[in-house]
Amino acid sequence: MKLPYPLILASTSKYRGALLAQLGHQFESISPGVDEDQLKSQNFTPTQIATELAKLKALAVFKKRPEACVIGSDQVCVLNGELLSKPGSKENAILQLQKMQGIHHELITAVTILYPQGEINFHNRTLLFMRPLTLSKITRYIEEDLPLDCAGSYKLESKGIKLFEKIEMDDHTSIIGLPLIQLNNHLLKIGFPI
C-alpha cells in the first residue's frame, strides 16, 4: 500500500509507537526534543498544555520533514486541577496514588497532525475512578508494575487496571497516549488507506 505521505510519530515513546503500529502503516519515530516542563510551568489549563505540547512536538519534527505527515501527541493527568507528571521514583509514585485513591481524575490526550496541506488538532478526555487503596496495596502495585515513566503512576495496559472501579471513555487507546479511533478517522480523510 502506498501512503500519501511518509508517516512520522514525533515521539520515541514505546507506548505510542506500539499503538500507532496497530494501524498497519510504516512509520518513523523521531524525538521532537521539546521542553515540556517549560510549558507546564506557565499558567495554562490542562487542556491547553496538552494541546500546545502536541503542536510543539509535531512542529519540531515537521520543520525538518515538511514532506511528511507528522503526528504529535501529549497527555496530561489531572487531579482536582493539579497536573500529575511522571513520578520518576517509587516514592513519588506512592504519593501520587495516595492522592488519587477513592476519587476520580482525568486524562487529557491531545493530538496534532501536520501534513503538507494542513493541520488537524483534537483531544480526548477519559475519566478514571480509582478504588480506595491501602498503602500496602499501592506499594505492592508499584513494585509489580514499575509505572515510574507514566503520568499518574499507573499502567492501565498492564496491572494498573486493577486499581480502578470504573473508567469512562470513548476510545480505550487514548488512555495509553494516542487515541487511535480519532487518529485513524483523520488519517483516512487525508488519504491514508484503511
Q: What are the catalytic residues?
A: 74
Please check whether residue 176 is in contact with residue 156, taking contact to mean a CB–CB distance below 8 angstroms: yes
Query: For residues 125 and 167, what is the distance between their CA atoms, to the nearest angstrom?
Result: 11
Query: For residues 174 and 167, what is the distance between their CA atoms, to the nearest angstrom?
Result: 12
Query: For residues 123 and 131, what is the distance between their CA atoms, to the nearest angstrom?
Result: 26
Report CA Rg, the chain. Answer: 17
The closest of 9, 10, 18, 28 to 157, measured between CA atoms, is 18
Burial 37-58 (b: 16+ CB within 10 A, else e): eebbeeeeebebbbbbbbbbbb
